[in-house]
Amino acid sequence: MKRTKQWWTGLNKDERSELIYLERSEKSSHQSGYLPDDCSECGACSYPVLGTGLCPNCENRRQKLILKANQKCLS
């Protein structure tokens, strides 16, 4: 769904900040010298993940925030 002003009002100030943080962190996962070559750390919480991107917990939280905003926009 397009992120209009109405869409963003579905989230409170802290949730908006958290969503932006999670989306920016998704692209900033990084390798660690302590992990195997096929693993990296979640850009948001530094939890080890296979491949790149967010860990399952952070990805679930991001999806919940997006769904909450979508539902507010549709109602």
Provide the number of structural domains found in the chain: 1
3-class secondary structure, 55 = coil
DSSP state for residue 37 in the 8-state scheme: T
Which two tokens mark 3?
A: 């992120």
35-68 tens-digit pLDDT: 777 788 888 998 888 877 899 999 999 999 999 9
Question: What is the rounded average pLDDT for all residues in the chain?
Answer: 87
State the pTM of this model. Answer: 0.84
Structural domain span for residue 64: 5-74
- 51 Cα distance to chain centroid: 16
Closest by CA to 29, choosing from 12, 47, 13, is 47
